[in-house]
Amino acid sequence: MAHPRSWSRVLMLVACCVLPGFAAGPDDPPPGGAAPAPHSDHWSFQPIVRPRVPRVERSGWLRNPIDAFVLAKLESLGIAPSPEADRPTLIRRLSLDLTGLLPTPAEVDAFLRDTHPDAYERLVDRLLASAHFGERWARHWLDLARYADSDGYEKDSPRPYAWLYRDWVIDAVNRDLPFDEFTIEQLAGDLLPEATLEHHIATGFHRNTLTNREGGVDQEEYRNKANADRVNTTASVWLGLTMGCCTCHDHKYDPLTQREYYSMFAFFNTAQESDLPAPRPEELAAYQQAKKAFDDEHARLQAGRIAYENEELPARLAAWQDTGRAPAARWDVRDPVSVQATGGATLVEQPDGSLIAAGRSPATSTYTLEFVTELPGITALRLEVLPDARHPAKGPGRVKHGNFVLSEFTVEAAPATPRPALAAAAAGSAAPPTPVADVPPAHSAALPNTAARARVALANASADFSQQGYPAEAAIDGNPGTGWAVAPQVGVRHVAVFETASDLGDPNGIRLLVRIDQQHGGEHTIARLRIAATTAPRPIRADDMPDEIAQTLATPARARTAEQTTALAAYYRSIDPEWNKRAASVAEHAKKAPASPATKAMTLAENPRPPKTHVHVRGDFLRPGAEVAPGTPAVLPPFQPRSDRPDRLDLARWLVGPKHSLTARVTVNRFWQHLFGRGLVASVEDFGTRGDPPSHPELLDWLASQLMADGWSRKAMIRRIVTSSTYRQASHTRPELAERDPNNLLLARQNRYRLEAEIIRDLNLAASGLLNPAIGGPSVRPPQPAGISELTYAGSAKWVESTGADRYRRGMYTWFQRTSPYPMLTTFDAPDSNVSCVRRERSNTPLQALTLLNDAVFFEAAQVLGRRIVAESVATPEERLRYLCRVTLARDPSDSEASRLRALYERVTELARAQPDAAAKLAGNPAPNGVDRAELAAWVTVARAVLNLDEFVTRE
């Protein structure tokens, strides 16, 4: 049921946000024109003063001071406390409250036999020492931290390493990290002196906010939303205040101003989100082992290449220089007289005669280059595509992986036109090119009249290298859907040669128009190119020898410069088969280097250039008001930062300071809530003036002062509460108090309430014996109904069911996808993790009963429990029924319960013998050797009945 005040609070919040006059701006005076008072008489803002323990008449009932405060109030009203619960109830209650697991029959028997006066206290100590205690109480904290495994919003991208924070919380609870340190490390662990990786992981508390990664969103808007959530969560978790009401105006009821809200906002506005490498020890060990093996092999291969380079390569280089010949073709590189590029690209001339594509990188483009040459009898044209560090992957293509596709290479020829005429034709027609790296642009001019141009027939295309399926011949086949490409050999020079079908030339010179058509799409255009022509006799094949090397090779050795000699050696090394084989082995092996562990911790870090913080006028981040510095509400104890630049560490230390009036009260109230089902202050999220008053104010203050006196020890406080007579009372309702105290505010008995969603799942798995008790690690995906993940953005959150023991992990390890959470958890009121949840609601719906009966996980648990009954208990119906109740309820069945369950067993056995196919489906396949399938089906049915009892999913 919703809290009786909750609807009034919702309606008031709506009124504050939408009714005229409710939302005052930061510069508007509050009603009456007076500034908010920095002091309040409200009980929660008063200092914590340790009260005296009251005297009572029934002093023999007292086990610790908690009981004195409770009994004093009961006695003042003439009410007696309830008797202590029986031992089976106590061990089951304690086990559920402290570990979230069932006590085993052996543990129950041991407790029942223990006659020592401190048997109960020793049971408490054993459960507090259990590693499962950390899981149980970490789950409570994860609700506050709005923990989830995905970002939220529409795309709801996964957070594969969110579990690092969850594991930190489990470990911190298990080692009883004092709550003040627990607070500091989560709010400002990164700011601690000599902060460790674990401190950074702890600071992930405020990285659990939602993150919007959709295209087109204003990231500044969502950064501000995340920071507002951090303020609201901090106020709710540590202060128990509804400070979010101050986002757009002063609080209507509590002494909190909008300016103070943004002063709190400033603590988080100076932080930025950060992901840190956070390999787990086992990951790091495996990586280091693999890295050592890789390094050893890589060093061996490198040594072999270097030995060859030093010992054998020089002789091969000398022999090649003596016998090597330059290519027969001599290539003439001419500067173009005009260039054009479509699609918004421009071509910029370089000193070496090449052209670099600049400006926009269009999906497709055609480059048109015009040259004038007096070469007689041109027999071929060469296209060089060159690497360039200014483009992705060094080119030679503009697409990010460096490839390109030359769809068609065409040439037209015409008699040369006098340059003045060309200049006149170009006047006023050329678009200014975009320079690259401050080099002068190429000439850009309108092309001459096409009437005198003739298409040049090309043949016998060749290239030094072609991508599979993209040969050079495809660039002259007339089909724009094919072309020449060079992947995977990107980042290096390549050449393609296109022979002319007949010699080209004219005594007065010719004008060549070269079109480089690139229609593949996806920006597969050339980044840097150079065109040259030759008059060498055909056939002319592509040769990868650069012109500079050919000229050096043709120069006598004694006439070569030192630079030429070095370049020649480098070129030969690149074509030597053995050196390339060894270099390729090194390169291929380098690709096999083990990847560093991918695990990263989501955390916060201080921004080295923090933005200023302003009040958001009416909550709008686009309307900055007065600038504010980090600070805290004036109604609370004074804030004393370490320096004139307060930070999150100052905030965290202020929250757990000895004079703070709220943090200790809010914290012990939350502990009480988890052990009684209701806090001493029922409105655990609101200690303000509109919240509920404490039912036992002196007890609350005594507990708060004791928490600090105990060094903020969570375990010490929980131990003190659960060893009290107040906690140990029976939970049976008392008719005489039904009208006088219907909500048990007086604590005249314990409370009885349904367990949380995750624990219900855990109990079914534990009772069946399927539960995997492993602690920590990545989230898992147990079976869930079909179609749930299809509800996510484009079905992106694929639910691949975990296998093996991972299917049976505790519910807190189930992957939580914010836009499609595990349906069993939401059916039983698990929070959505979009905002901090300080109090889970408890609903009662038919869907819950249907889930317990028919969900695949619960049905499988019943099947396995039925097999366990048959395998582990004496083969009589009475003993098997007793075993079943002891496993699930920690007690023997009453006579009437045994009679009814026996009747169910006999009836189902009869039906199963009559319907063997149905019995086989119910019992599961295969049946254990020697076990009658009808008998097994009957015990599965009886197990289902007990697992569906209200008592099984209830904490007494």
Q: Dihedrals φ, ψ of 347, to 5°?
A: -115, 130
Nearest to residue 250, comparing CAs of 37, 9, 6, 5?
Answer: 37
The C-alpha atoms of residue 724 and residue 61 are separated, in whole angstroms, by 9
Element (H, E) at 462: strand 458-463
| Model pLDDT for residues 267-322, shown as the tens digit of each residue | 999 999 999 999 999 999 999 999 999 999 999 999 999 999 999 999 998 888 87
Residue 171 scores a pLDDT above 90: yes
Q: Dihedrals φ, ψ of 557, to 5°?
A: -60, -40
Angle formed at CA 769 by CA 768 and CA 774, multiple of 5 degrees: 130
Residue range 930-935: average pLDDT? 84
User: pLDDT tier at 10 (50, 70, 90 boundaries)?
Assistant: very low
- Per the rule left: phi > 0, alpha: psi between -120 and 50, beta: everything else, 343 is left
When comparing pLDDT for 553 and 665, which is higher? Answer: 665
Q: What is the pLDDT of residue 22?
A: 38
User: pLDDT tier at 326 (50, 70, 90 boundaries)?
Assistant: low
Q: What is the pLDDT of residue 27?
A: 43
Q: Regarding beta strands 624-628 and 528-534, do their DSSP bridges make them parallel or antiparallel, or are they unpaired?
A: unpaired
Nearest to residue 905, comparing CAs of 931, 860, 764, 897?
Answer: 897
Lowest model confidence (mean pLDDT) among 184-188, 348-352, 702-706: 348-352
Q: What is the dihedral of CA 579, 585, 588, 592, to 10 degrees?
A: -150
Cα–Cα distances (Å) from 873 to 125, 431, 900, in that order, read 31, 92, 19
For residue 675, the one-letter residue type is L
What does the radius of gyration of the chain's CA atoms come to, in whole angstroms?
Answer: 40
User: pLDDT tier at 325 (50, 70, 90 boundaries)?
Assistant: low
The helix/strand/coil state of 343 is coil
Q: Dihedrals φ, ψ of 202, to 5°?
A: -60, -35
CB–CB of 246/257 below 8 Å?
A: yes
| Model pLDDT for residues 669-703, shown as the tens digit of each residue | 999 999 999 999 999 999 999 999 999 999 999 99
Residue range 772-793: average pLDDT? 92
The C-alpha atoms of residue 201 and residue 195 are separated, in whole angstroms, by 10
Q: What is the pLDDT of residue 547?
A: 76
User: pLDDT tier at 32 (50, 70, 90 boundaries)?
Assistant: very low
| DSSP state at residue 344 | T
Residue 924 scores a pLDDT above 90: no
CB atoms within 10 A of CB 618: 17
Residue range 634-651: average pLDDT? 97
Cα–Cα distances (Å) from 531 to 61, 367, 492, 566, in that order, read 102, 12, 17, 26
The C-alpha atoms of residue 189 and residue 172 are separated, in whole angstroms, by 13
| Model pLDDT for residues 300-313, shown as the tens digit of each residue | 999 999 999 999 99
Residue range 347-367: average pLDDT? 94
Lowest model confidence (mean pLDDT) among 470-479, 816-825, 925-934: 925-934
User: pLDDT tier at 418 (50, 70, 90 boundaries)?
Assistant: low
Residue 877 scores a pLDDT above 50: yes
CB atoms within 10 A of CB 709: 11
Residue range 638-652: average pLDDT? 97
Cα–Cα distances (Å) from 807 to 150, 223, 787, in that order, read 20, 37, 19
CB atoms within 10 A of CB 394: 17
For residue 328, the one-letter residue type is A
Q: Let me know if 435 is exposed, middle or buried by CB neighbors in 10 A (0-12, 13-18, 19+).
A: middle
Q: What is the pLDDT of residue 20?
A: 35
Residue range 377-396: average pLDDT? 93
For residue 359, the one-letter residue type is G
The C-alpha atoms of residue 296 and residue 586 are separated, in whole angstroms, by 12
CB–CB of 756/841 below 8 Å?
A: no
Q: Look up residue 82 and give its two tokens.
A: 């309830």
Q: What is the pLDDT of residue 576?
A: 86
Residue 529 scores a pLDDT above 80: yes
Residue 806 scores a pLDDT above 80: yes
In sequence order, what DSSP letters do the residues of 589-635 get, joined into one string? HHTTPPPPP--EEEEEEE-SSPPPEEEEGGG-TTSEEEEE-S---TT
Name the residue with tokens 């594969």.
Answer: 160
Q: What is the pLDDT of residue 507?
A: 82
When comparing pLDDT for 355 and 797, which is higher? Answer: 355
Averaged pLDDT score across all residues of the chain: 90
User: pLDDT tier at 796 (50, 70, 90 boundaries)?
Assistant: confident
Residue range 766-781: average pLDDT? 97
| DSSP state at residue 290 | H
User: pLDDT tier at 189 (50, 70, 90 boundaries)?
Assistant: very high
Residue range 765-777: average pLDDT? 97
Q: Look up residue 944 and give its two tokens.
A: 């289902």
Q: Dihedrals φ, ψ of 250, to 5°?
A: -65, 150
Q: Dihedrals φ, ψ of 766, to 5°?
A: -65, -45
The helix/strand/coil state of 510 is strand
The C-alpha atoms of residue 294 and residue 300 are separated, in whole angstroms, by 10
Query: Is the bond preceding 539 in cis, omega lying within 30 degrees of 0?
Result: yes
CB atoms within 10 A of CB 55: 9
Model confidence, pTM: 0.78
Residue 543 scores a pLDDT above 80: no
Residue 1 scores a pLDDT above 70: no
Q: What is the pLDDT of residue 608?
A: 93
Q: How far, rounded to the nearest angstrom, does the alpha carbon of residue 868 sit from its chain's CA centroid?
A: 39
When comparing pLDDT for 20 and 794, which is higher? Answer: 794
User: pLDDT tier at 328 (50, 70, 90 boundaries)?
Assistant: low
Question: Please, what sign has the CA dihedral across residues 697, 702, 707, 711?
Answer: positive
User: Most distant CA pair in the chain: distance in Å?
Assistant: 129
| Model pLDDT for residues 113-170, shown as the tens digit of each residue | 999 999 999 999 999 999 999 999 999 999 999 999 999 999 999 999 999 999 999 9
Q: What is the pLDDT of residue 417?
A: 61
Residue 605 scores a pLDDT above 90: yes
The C-alpha atoms of residue 476 and residue 463 are separated, in whole angstroms, by 13
Element (H, E) at 406: none
At a CB cut-off of 8 Å and minimum separation 6, what does 885 contact?
891, 892, 893, 897, 946
Q: What percentage of the chain exceeds 90 in pLDDT?
A: 80
Residue 42 scores a pLDDT above 70: yes
User: pLDDT tier at 425 (50, 70, 90 boundaries)?
Assistant: very low
Q: SS3 helix, strand, coil % of the chain, rounded to 5? A: 45, 10, 45
Residue 363 scores a pLDDT above 80: yes
Sheet holding 408-415, edge to edge: 338-341, 365-373, 510-518, 408-415, 454-455
Q: Look up residue 496 and give its two tokens.
A: 């393609």
Cα–Cα distances (Å) from 125 to 102, 122, 720, 723, 766, in that order, read 16, 5, 11, 10, 22
Element (H, E) at 202: helix 197-202
Q: What is the pLDDT of residue 147?
A: 98
Q: Dihedrals φ, ψ of 366, to 5°?
A: -120, 125
Element (H, E) at 156: none
Q: What is the pLDDT of residue 548?
A: 79
First-to-last CA distance in the chain? 19
Residue 395 scores a pLDDT above 70: yes
Residues in the chain: 956
Nearest to residue 389, comparing CAs of 433, 351, 437, 345?
Answer: 437
Residue range 512-539: average pLDDT? 95
